[in-house]
Amino acid sequence: SLGADALATGHYARLRHTPSTVKLLQAVDRSKDQSYFLSSTPASALRSAVFPLGSLTKAEVRQLARSAQLPAAEKRESLG
């Protein structure tokens, strides 16, 4: 146990929670989608996961970073 209610990551993916299960969904920005990478993650682990970037495009994430004056806003892509 991490002693937290949830674990947020920077993955581009989304989750749909129901009372009995959690379903992994593709990110809104299909060019950045990482749901394939997370597809083997057990549902028990996904229940506590949060993917805040999954409902945003890369451009929106960069704009939020610029607004917060984060140096990463102008960082070049790490992957193609």
- Given this model, what pLDDT does residue 1 score? 67
Specify the pTM. 0.86
Alpha-carbon gap, residue 54 to 28, rounded angstroms: 6
- Given this model, what pLDDT does residue 76 score? 83
pLDDT values of the chain reduced to their tens digit, one per residue, 80 residues: 678 999 999 999 999 999 999 999 999 999 999 999 999 999 999 999 999 999 999 999 999 999 999 998 888 877 65
